[in-house]
C-alpha cells in the first residue's frame, strides 16, 4: 500500500490531532507535513498531498467532491482565543479590517458576522507577519493563531469570533477537518488517525509545554487553550454548527456553489449522521462548561424556522413558539429540509423485526396500560421457550433481523432468567436482541440489589445488543406521577440510558404524548433527550406517537388526530438536531399519515412485522407487510431500504 | 423543478395550463404544492372550514351497470345482498331523525340504475321526504342516474329534472363522473353515460338554476394526464355555467370489487391530488375532503393541502363501506368540530348551498388547538 501523504496546519490546535502520527504511529501508512491552512488546501488541490487538515471554508469551496474523516475536527463552542478581531475602536466603528490570507474559514466567519451586524468595512490583505501590528485608528485586524494567544490586552477592543458565532447560533464552530478525495482513506486509516488524536488528548500538557518553550510563550496559556477552548470531536453538534456555517455562507453569497454537503469517508464501524444516517463516534472529550444564551431578541416565526431548517439549534422557548404559531406546512418544510440535509433525498429505511412481549405480568399498573395482568391473575403469562422458538423461527423465516423484547415487570423473573433467555436466543437464532426498556432494567437492578451498570454488563455479556427507548411516555415527573405513579422517574430513565451508552450500547428514545401535558412538558422531554445525546451520542433514533386511550383506565379522549402528531413530529426533527434518525409511527397513526410524516422529517418507516401487544390492545389495528411498506415509501418518492438496529443499510 | 412560474400564475390569478397540472403532479415537491394550494384556500376561505349535518339514503343497489370499482351494486332483484327500499322504509330514516330532534339539514340520495321501478318511485320518494320535513335539502341523483332515467323513461333530461324538482329535488350530487377519458371509462365503467353526457346533464341543471357538485375517481388505471384532463373539463363547464359548488376527489377503494388487485392510493398521493385540484380548479369555490373515504386523519391533513370542507356527519354510508372503507360511519358534529379545530382551522356548519348554519360560539365545544390548555387528568382507577 502506498503511504498516504498528509498536510496539517502548523498551528498549536492541530498538534493533538497529529500527536500520535508525529511519534511514529502508522508510519508505514502516512507521510506528514505542516503548512499554513490556505497552503494545505492548495497542496490537496494540486495533488501534492492526499489528505489535508483543511479549513471548513476550503472544503466547501473545493471544486472537487471531497470526503471528511468522521469524528475528528478542530472546533470551539464559545471563545476560541485564536480568531480575534482587534482594534482601537469598537467593531461598529471600524472602517476597514486588515487580514492575512492564512485561513479562509476565519475570513468567511468575519464576513458573516459583519453582515449580521449590518456592517461592510473594507477588507485589506496584509502579510502574515505584519498582522499583529496592522490595527490602528479605525482599521481593525483579524488576528489568528498564536498571535491571538499572545495578544493580551494590547488593544482596547478585542472580539473573539468563536464566542460571537456561538452567541449567534448556539452552536460550535468547526475550523478544520481532515478532508481528501473519495477512496483515499480506508477504515484502517481512520482508526490510526483517531488513535493519534486520542494520544494527543492524553498529552495536551506535554504538547503545550513543547510549543510554549519553542516560542517563548506561557505554557499554562497554551495548555488551557487546548483543554478549554478547542474541542476535537466532530459529533452531531459540531456537524450542526458546520452545516449552519455553510448554509449561512451560501445564503450570504460567500459560497458560490450551493452549500456543500458534508460527506464522509467510511470508517467501517460506526455510522455517521450525515451519511446514510451514520452515527458519529463520540470521543470521550469534556464538554465545554460555557453556556451561551442566544441574543434575547424577538425573532419572527419565519426566521426561527429558517434557522432551524439550516440546522441551527432550536431553543426551548422558540420551540414552544413554533408549536403554537407556525403554520403546519412551514413546520413540515423546515423539518423536510433537515431530513434532506441529514439523509439526502433518496433512501427511507425500515426494519424487519418482531415485537415479543415475553410476559404480561406486571406490578406497575400504569393507568394507560391495558396489557398487563397483576401477579397471580389467571390471564398472566410468561412465554415458554417452545412458544418463543416458534416466534423467533418465524421471524428468521420472514427475513427478520431483530427481536424487540419487552415485557411487564414480573417479580418472578430474576436476572438469571434474562441471561439464560438471551444466551439461548443467541445460540439458536441469528437475531439481534433489542430488549428491555429502562423501566425493566431498573426493576431487575432493584430486585437483584445491583447497580444499573452491573445489570447492564451482565445482560450485554449474555447477548443484549441494544436497548429500546420505551416507557419514556413524557419525561416529566408531574405527568409521570399522574399516569404511571409507580414507574421510574425521569432521572432514572435517563440514567439507565446514560449507563447503556457508556457501555457502548445504542438505544432509541420515544415519547408518548396526549396525556394532557403542556407544550412545555413536551419540549422538556425533548430537551432531556437532546442534552443526554450531547453527552453520549448513543441514541440512534427518536419515535413518538399519541396515546391510544381506548379501553384503558385513563378517561381521556384519544389524541389521535393527525395534525398534532405531524406538528410535534416536525418539531422533534428540528429540536433533536443531534439525533440522526426519526422514525414515523404508522402502527398508531395509520400508514397514510405515517407516509405523510416522511415529508415532516421522518427518514425511517419503522418495522414491517409488528406484534405490538401494548399498543394493539388499545385499539391500533394497522398491519403492514414489507411489501406494503415499500409501496408506501415509494409512492412518497423514496427508495425503501432495509436496515438493522444501528441503521446500517442491509444489502438490497 | 422550480415552482416559480406556476406560483406567479397562481398569485396573479391566471388559470394554470394542462402542462402545469401535469408538472405539479409529476415533479413538484409535495409540501411546496401543498403550501401553494393552501395559499389559494386561505385567499378564498381563510381558516373557515365547512361541514354539514346530513345523512345518506341509497334507496336501491340494483343496477343494470357493472362498474369495475363498484362493490355496492347487484345486477338484479333477488341477487344476494340486493335490496330496494319501500318508500316507508326510506321515509322512516328521516322520521327517526326528526323524532330524535336531530338538526339534520341535508339528505344525500344516490342509487343503482334500477330497470324495474316506475319513475314515480323517485318523485314519490322525494315528495314524501319533503312532507316529513319541508325545509330538508334533497341533494339527489347523480348525472348518471338522471341520464339513465332520460333513456329508460323516454323523457328529455330537462323534463326529468323538471319533474324531480317539482317533487322536491334541490340540487345534484357530483358522483358518476369517475374519469372522463374514454380509454379509462371503457375499462372501468363502460355502462355509464359518456363524459359529454355527464357534463351535459350538469349543464342543463345549471341552466335551470340547480346547483351541483362534481367529482373525480382517482387511483384506478388512469394516468396523471387523464386526471388533469378531467379537472380541466370540469373547469371549462364551470367557466360556462358557474353552477358547480364543490369539487370532491374520490379515492378508489379496492376491496370487494373487480379491481381488487390494485392498491388504494396512499396518503401522499391523496394530498397531492387535493392540492393540484385546488390549484387547477380556480373557478370552483369549494374543495371537499370526503372523510368517509380518506379516513379522518388524512382528511384533516388535507385541510392544509387545499381542502376547505369535510363533508358531513354522514350516517349509513353504504357505497364506500361495501368497498372496504374502515372509517367510522358517522362523526358527531362535536367530533367534526374537534377535528377541524385541532387542525388549527375555524369550523363553520353550513347547509348544502353554503349558507352558514352555525359558527363561532355556537360551535365552540372543542378546545382550540393553537392555544393548548392543560386538560386536567381525570383518572379513574
Ligand atoms: S406499561 Fe409496562 S410497566 Fe406499565 S403496567 Fe404496562 S407493562 Fe407494566
Ligand atoms: S357505480 Fe353506480 S352505476 Fe356503476 S355499478 Fe355501481 S351503482 Fe351502478
If you ran DSSP here, which 8-state letter would residue B17 be given?
P
Q: What is the pLDDT of residues B325-354, one digit of tens each?
A: 556 656 777 888 888 988 889 999 999 988
Rounded (5°) CA angle A631-A635-A639: 75
Identify the DSSP state of A548: -
A566 in contact with chain B, both atoms CB, cutoff 8 A? yes
Of B137 and A310, which is predicted with more confidence? B137
Cα A89 to ligand 1 centroid, rounded to whole Å: 65
Nearest CA in chain B to A592: B267
From CA B201, how far away is CA B192, in angstroms rounded? 13
- pLDDT of res. B240: 92
Q: Is A333 close to B338, i.e. CB distance below 8 A?
A: no
Distance from C-alpha of A400 to C-alpha of A395, rounded to nearest angstrom: 5
pLDDT above 70 as % of chain B? 89
Say whether A563 and B338 touch across the interface (CB within 8 A).
Answer: no
Q: Decide if pLDDT at A282 tops 60.
A: no
| Residue A578 scores a pLDDT above 50 | yes
Residue among B2, B19, B21 nearest B273 (CA):
B21
* CB-based contact B293:B175 (threshold 8 Å): no
CA distance B378 to chain A (A): 6
> What local confidence, expressed as pLDDT, does residue A288 receive?
30
Burial of B132 (0-12, 13-18, 19+ CB in 10 A): middle
Q: Does residue B113's CB lie within 6 angstroms of at least one atom of ligand 2?
A: yes
What is the helix, strand, coil percentage profile of chain B, to 5?
45, 15, 40
Minimum Cα–Cα distance from A326: chain B residue: B370
Cβ contact (<8 Å) for B372 and A332?
Answer: no
Length of chain A: 652
- Per-residue burial over A226-238, b if 16 or more Cβ lie within 10 Å, else e, is bbbbbbbbbbbbb
Per-residue model confidence as pLDDT tens digits over A395-450: 888 888 999 999 999 999 999 999 999 999 999 999 999 999 999 999 999 999 99
Atom of ligand 2 nearest to the CA of B112: 7
Q: Which of A302, A323, A291, A271 is nearest to A513 (CA)?
A: A323
- Taking CA atoms only, the protein residue closest to ligand 2 atom 7 is B112
Q: Which residues of A touch B42 (CB under 8 A)?
A: none
- Ligand 1 pocket, residue A362 CB under 6 Å: yes
Residue carrying the nine cell digits 502548523: A10
Verify whether ligand 2 is closer than 6 Å to residue B234 (CB atom): no
Select the residue from B300, B301, B381 to test the A interface by mutation, using most A Cβ atoms within 10 A.
B301
Q: Does A322 touch chain B (CB under 8 A)?
A: no
Percent of chain A whose pLDDT exceeds 70:
88
Name the A residues in 468-527 with CB < 8 Å from any B CB: 482-483, 515-519
The CATH fold assigned to A316-642 is TIM Barrel (3.20.20)
Subunit contact A596:B379, Cβ cutoff 8 A: no
Q: Report the nearest atom of ligand 1 relative to the CA of A439.
A: 3
Instruction: Tell me which of A268 and B295 has the higher pLDDT.
Output: B295
CA distance B149 to chain A (A): 39
Give the phi and the psi of residue B265 in degrees, each rounded to 5: -60, 145
Tell me which of A268-282, A309-323, A600-614, B79-93 is least confident.
A268-282
Question: Which CATH fold topology does A83-169 show?
Answer: D-Maltodextrin-Binding Protein; domain 2 (3.40.190)
**Which of B266, B270, B304, B380 to mutate against chain A (most A CBs within 10 Å)?**
B266
Cβ separation B374–A555 shorter than 8 A = no
Partner-chain residue, chosen from A333, A590, A632, that has the shortest CB–CB distance to B31: A333
Atom 2, ligand 2: which residue's CA is nearest?
A: B112
Segment A604-647, tens digit of pLDDT: 999 886 554 444 444 445 567 888 899 999 999 999 999 988 88
Whether residues A562 and B297 touch (CB distance < 8 A) is answered with: yes
With a cut of 70, say whether residue B26 has pLDDT above it.
yes
**Which of A517, A564, A636 minimises the CB distance to B342?**
A564
Angle at A363 between CA A360 and CA A369, to 5 degrees: 60
Cβ–Cβ < 8 Å for A77, A172: yes
Q: Which residue would you say has higher pLDDT here, A136 or B313?
A: A136
Of B60, B64, B67, the residue with max ligand 2 atoms within 8 A of its CB, to mutate for a pocket test, comes to B67
A387 vs A552: which has the higher pLDDT: A387
Q: Are the beta carbons of A549 and A556 closer than 8 angstroms?
A: yes
Ligand 2 mean position to B140 CA, how many Å? 15
Q: List the residue whose alpha carbon is closest to atom 7 of ligand 1.
A: A408
Whether residue A325 and residue B297 make contact (CB cut-off 8 A), yes or no, is no
Residue contact B297–A516, C-beta within 8 A: no
Q: Answer for the pair B297, B338: CB distance below 8 angstroms, yes or no.
A: no
CA of B88 from ligand 2 middle (Å) equals: 24
SS3 B327: coil
Per the prediction, chain A carries an average pLDDT of 84
3-state secondary structure of A426: helix
Residue A615 CB less than 6 A away from ligand 1: no
Please give the average per-residue pLDDT across A304-312, as a whole number.
Answer: 87
Domain B9-365 has CATH 3.40.50.300: no
Question: Which among A439, A442, A474, A554 is the best mutation to test ligand 1's pocket, defined by most ligand atoms within 8 Å of the CB?
Answer: A439
Instruction: Tell me the β-bridge partners of A164.
Output: none
Is the predicted pLDDT of residue B248 greater than 50, yes or no?
A: yes
Asked if residues B16 and B280 have their Cβ atoms less than 8 Å apart, the reply is yes
How many beta-carbon pairs below 8 A join chains A and B?
A: 113
Structural domain boundaries of chain A?
A: 4-75+173-251, 83-169, 316-642
| A320 touches B: beta carbon within 8 Å | no
**Grid cell locating A519:** 407544550
**Region B138-163 average pLDDT:** 97
What is residue A615's predicted lDDT score, i.e. its pLDDT?
A: 47
- Cβ–Cβ gap B298/A329 under 8 Å: no
Average of per-residue pLDDT across A568-592 = 93
- A91-117 pLDDT, tens per residue? 988 999 998 766 677 888 898 888 888
**ipTM rounded to 2 decimals:** 0.79
pLDDT for position A293: 33
Residue range A16-43: mean pLDDT, rounded: 84
List the single best residue of A513, A596, A599, A619 to mutate versus B (max B Cβ within 10 A).
A596
pLDDT over 90 at A359, yes or no: yes
Chain A CB contacts of B298 below 8 Å: 562, 590, 592-593, 596
Name the residue with the closest Cα to ligand 1, atom 2. Answer: A408
Question: Is the minimum distance from the CB of B68 to ligand 2 under 6 angstroms?
Answer: no
> Which string of b and e fits A382-419 if b means at least 16 CB within 10 Å?
ebeeeebeebbeebbeeebbbbbbbbbbbeebebeebb
Spatial contact of B369 and B49, defined as CB atoms under 8 Å apart: no
Residues of B in contact with A631 (CB under 8 A): 263, 266
Task: Give residue B372's pLDDT.
Answer: 29
Query: Which residue of B267, B278, B294 is the best one to mutate when testing the A interface, meaning the one whose CB has the most A CBs within 10 A?
Result: B267
State the fold for domain A4-75+173-251: D-Maltodextrin-Binding Protein; domain 2 (3.40.190)
CB A547 near ligand 1, within 6 Å: no
Q: Do A329 and B379 touch (CB under 8 A)?
A: no
Query: Angle at which helices A452-462 and A438-448 pack, to 10 degrees?
Result: 110
Asked if A261 and A274 touch (Cβ cutoff 8 Å), the reply is yes
Instruction: Calculate the alpha carbon distances from A127 to A27, A120, A147, A215 in Å.
Output: 35, 22, 13, 20
Place of cell 388547538: B369
How close B374 comes to chain A (CA, Å)? 6
Angle between helices A438-448 and A415-428 (to 10 degrees): 130
* Residue B1 pLDDT level (bands cut at 50, 70, 90): low
Element (H, E) at B65: none
C-alpha cell at B371: 392555544
* Confidence at residue A31, expressed as pLDDT on a 0 to 100 scale: 86
pLDDT of residue B317: 54
- Encode pLDDT of A495-536 as tens digits: 999 999 999 999 999 999 988 889 999 999 999 999 999 889
Report residue A626 as a C-alpha cell: 414489507
Cα–Cα nearest to A228, from A196, A204, A199, A194: A204
Q: Where are the domains of chain B?
A: 9-365
To which residue does cell 330538508 refer? B136
Report residue B214 as a C-alpha cell.
362534481
**Topology alike, domains A4-75+173-251 and A83-169:** yes
Q: What gap in Å lies between CA A11 and CA A217, rounded to an integer?
A: 14
* Strand ranges of the sheet holding A83-87, from the earlier edge strand across to the other edge: A122-125, A96-99, A139-144, A83-87, A157-160
**Mean pLDDT in chain B?**
88
User: Is it the case that residue A590 has pLDDT exceeding 90?
Assistant: no
pLDDT (tens digit, 9 = 90+) per residue, B254-309? 766 666 677 888 999 999 999 999 999 999 999 999 888 888 889 999 999 999 99
Q: Name residue, grid cell 412560474.
A: B5
Amino acid at each position: 500500500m502506498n503511504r498516504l501523504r498528509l498536510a496539517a496546519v502548523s498551528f498549536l490546535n492541530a498538534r493533538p490531532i497529529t500527536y500520535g502520527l508525529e511519534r511514529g504511529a502508522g508510519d508505514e501508512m502516512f507521510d506528514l507535513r505542516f503548512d499554513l491552512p490556505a497552503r494545505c488546501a492548495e497542496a490537496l488541490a494540486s495533488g501534492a498531498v492526499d489528505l489535508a487538515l483543511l479549513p471548513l471554508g476550503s472544503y466547501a469551496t473545493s471544486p472537487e467532491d471531497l470526503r471528511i474523516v468522521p469524528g475528528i475536527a478542530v472546533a470551539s463552542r464559545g471563545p476560541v482565543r485564536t480568531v480575534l478581531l482587534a482594534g482601537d475602536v469598537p467593531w461598529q466603528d471600524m472602517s476597514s479590517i486588515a487580514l492575512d490570507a492564512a485561513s479562509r474559514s476565519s475570513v468567511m466567519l468575519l464576513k458573516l458576522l459583519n453582515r449580521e451586524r449590518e456592517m461592510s468595512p473594507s477588507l485589506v490583505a496584509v502579510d502574515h507577519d505584519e498582522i499583529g501590528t496592522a490595527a490602528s485608528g479605525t482599521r481593525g485586524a483579524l488576528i489568528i493563531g498564536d498571535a491571538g494567544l499572545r495578544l493580551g490586552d494590547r488593544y482596547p477592543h478585542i472580539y473573539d469570533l468563536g464566542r460571537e458565532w456561538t452567541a449567534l447560533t448556539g452552536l460550535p464552530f468547526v475550523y478544520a477537518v481532515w478532508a481528501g478525495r473519495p477512496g483515499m482513506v480506508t477504515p484502517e486509516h481512520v482508526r490510526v488517525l483517531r488513535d493519534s488524536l486520542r494520544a494527543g488528548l492524553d498529552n495536551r500538557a506535554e504538547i503545550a509545554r513543547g510549543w510554549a518553550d519553542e516560542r517563548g510563550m506561557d505554557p499554562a496559556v497554551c495548555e488551557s487553550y487546548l483543554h478549554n477552548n478547542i474541542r476535537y470531536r466532530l459529533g452531531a453538534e459540531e456537524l450542526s454548527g458546520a452545516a449552519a456555517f455553510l448554509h449561512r455562507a451560501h445564503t450570504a453569497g460567500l459560497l458560490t456553489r450551493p452549500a456543500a454537503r458534508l460527506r464522509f469517508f467510511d470508517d467501517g464501524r460506526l455510522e455517521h449522521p450525515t451519511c446514510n444516517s451514520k452515527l458519529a463516534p463520540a470521543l470521550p472529550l469534556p464538554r465545554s462548561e460555557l453556556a451561551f444564551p442566544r441574543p434575547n431578541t424577538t425573532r419572527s416565526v419565519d426566521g426561527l424556522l429558517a434557522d432551524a431548517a439550516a440546522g441551527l439549534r432550536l431553543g426551548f422557548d422558540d420551540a414552544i413558539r413554533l408549536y403554537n404559531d407556525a403554520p403546519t406546512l412551514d413546520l413540515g418544510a423546515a423539518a423536510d429540509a433537515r431530513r434532506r440535509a441529514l439523509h439526502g433525498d433518496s433512501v427511507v429505511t425500515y426494519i424487519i423485526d418482531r415485537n415479543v412481549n415475553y410476559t404480561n405480568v406486571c406490578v406497575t399498573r400504569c393507568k394507560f396500560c391495558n396489557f398487563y395482568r397483576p401477579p397471580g391473575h389467571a390471564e398472566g403469562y410468561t412465554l415458554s421457550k417452545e412458544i418463543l422458538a416458534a416466534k423467533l423461527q418465524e421471524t428468521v423465516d420472514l427475513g427478520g433481523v431483530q427481536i424487540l423484547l419487552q415485557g411487564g415487570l414480573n417479580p418472578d423473573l430474576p436476572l438469571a432468567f434474562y441471561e439464560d433467555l438471551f444466551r439461548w436466543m443467541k445460540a439458536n437464532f441469528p437475531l439481534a436482541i433489542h430488549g428491555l426498556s429502562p423501566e425493566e432494567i431498573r426493576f431487575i437492578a432493584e430486585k437483584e440489589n445491583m447497580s444499573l451498570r452491573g445489570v447492564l454488563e451482565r445482560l450485554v455479556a449474555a447477548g443484549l445488543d441494544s436497548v429500546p427507548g420505551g416507557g419514556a411516555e413524557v419525561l416529566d415527573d408531574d405527568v409521570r406521577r399522574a399516569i404511571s405513579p409507580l414507574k421510574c422517574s425521569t432521572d432514572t430513565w435517563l440514567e439507565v440510558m446514560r449507563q447503556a451508552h457508556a457501555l457502548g450500547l445504542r438505544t432509541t428514545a420515544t415519547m408518548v404524548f396526549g396525556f394532557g401535558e403542556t407544550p412545555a412538558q413536551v419540549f422538556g422531554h425533548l430537551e432531556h433527550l437532546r442534552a443526554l445525546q450531547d453527552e453520549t451520542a448513543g441514541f440512534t433514533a427518536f419515535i413518538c406517537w399519541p396515546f391510544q386511550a381506548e379501553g384503558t383506565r385513563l378517561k381521556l379522549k384519544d389524541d389521535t388526530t393527525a395534525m398534532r402528531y405531524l406538528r410535534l413530529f416536525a418539531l422533534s426533527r428540528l429540536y433533536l438536531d443531534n439525533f440522526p434518525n426519526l422514525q414515523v409511527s404508522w402502527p398508531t397513526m395509520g400508514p397514510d399519515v405515517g407516509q405523510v410524516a416522511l415529508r415532516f422529517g421522518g427518514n425511517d418507516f419503522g418495522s414491517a412485522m409488528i406484534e405490538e401487544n401494548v399498543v394493539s390492545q388499545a385499539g391500533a389495528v394497522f398491519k403492514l407487510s414489507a411489501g406494503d411498506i415499500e409501496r408506501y415509501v415509494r409512492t412518497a418518492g423514496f427508495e425503501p431500504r432495509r436496515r438493522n438496529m444501528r441503521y446500517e443499510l442491509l444489502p438490497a | 423543478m422550480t415552482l416559480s412560474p406556476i406560483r406567479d400564475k397562481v398569485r396573479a390569478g391566471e388559470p394554470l395550463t394542462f402542462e402545469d397540472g401535469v408538472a405539479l403532479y409529476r415533479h413538484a415537491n409535495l409540501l411546496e404544492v401543498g403550501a401553494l394550494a393552501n395559499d389559494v384556500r386561505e385567499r378564498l376561505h381563510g381558516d373557515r372550514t365547512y361541514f354539514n349535518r346530513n345523512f345518506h339514503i341509497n334507496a336501491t343497489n340494483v343496477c343494470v351497470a357493472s362498474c369495475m370499482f363498484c362493490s355496492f351494486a347487484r345486477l338484479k332483484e333477488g341477487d344476494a345482498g340486493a335490496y330496494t327500499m319501500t318508500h316507508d322504509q326510506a321515509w322512516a330514516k328521516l322520521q327517526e331523525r326528526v323524532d330524535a330532534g336531530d338538526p339534520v339539514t341535508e339528505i344525500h340520495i344516490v342509487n343503482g340504475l334500477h330497470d324495474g321501478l316506475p319513475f314515480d318511485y323517485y318523485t314519490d320518494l322525494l315528495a314524501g321526504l319533503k312532507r316529513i320535513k319541508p325545509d330538508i335539502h334533497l341533494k339527489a341523483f347523480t348525472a348518471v342516474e338522471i341520464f339513465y332515467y332520460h333513456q329508460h323513461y323516454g323523457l328529455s333530461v330537462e323534463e326529468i329534472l323538471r319533474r324531480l324538482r317539482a317533487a322536491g329535488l334541490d340540487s345534484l350530487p357530483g358522483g358518476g363522473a369517475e374519469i372522463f377519458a374514454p380509454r379509462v371509462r371503457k375499462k372501468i365503467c363502460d355502462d355509464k353515460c359518456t363524459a359529454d353526457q355527464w357534463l351535459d346533464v350538469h349543464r342543463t341543471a345549471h341552466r335551470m338554476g340547480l346547483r351541483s357538485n362534481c367529482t373525480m375517481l382517482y387511483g384506478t388505471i388512469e394516468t396523471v394526464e387523464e386526471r388533469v384532463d378531467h379537472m380541466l373539463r370540469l373547469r371549462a363547464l364551470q367557466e360556462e355555467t358557474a353552477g358547480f359548488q364543490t369539487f370532491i376527489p374520490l379515492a378508489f377503494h379496492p376491496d370487494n370489487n373487480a379491481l381488487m388487485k390494485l392498491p388504494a392510493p396512499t396518503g401522499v398521493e391523496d394530498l397531492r391530488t387535493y392540492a393540484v385540484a385546488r390549484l387547477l380548479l380556480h373557478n370552483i369555490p369549494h374543495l371537499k375532503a370526503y372523510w368517509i373515504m380518506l379516513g379522518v386523519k388524512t382528511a384533516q391533513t388535507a385541510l392544509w393541502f387545499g381542502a376547505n370542507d369535510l363533508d358531513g356527519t354522514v350516517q349509513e354510508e353504504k357505497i364506500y363501506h361495501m368497498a372496504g372503507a374502515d372509517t367510522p360511519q358517522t362523526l358527531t358534529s362535536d367530533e367534526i368540530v374537534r377535528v377541524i379545530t385541532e387542525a388549527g382551522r375555524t369550523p363553520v356548519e353550513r347547509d348544502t348551498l353554503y349558507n352558514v348554519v352555525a359558527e363561532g360560539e355556537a360551535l365552540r365545544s372543542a378546545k382550540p388547538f393553537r392555544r393548548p390548555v392543560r386538560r386536567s387528568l381525570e383518572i379513574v382507577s
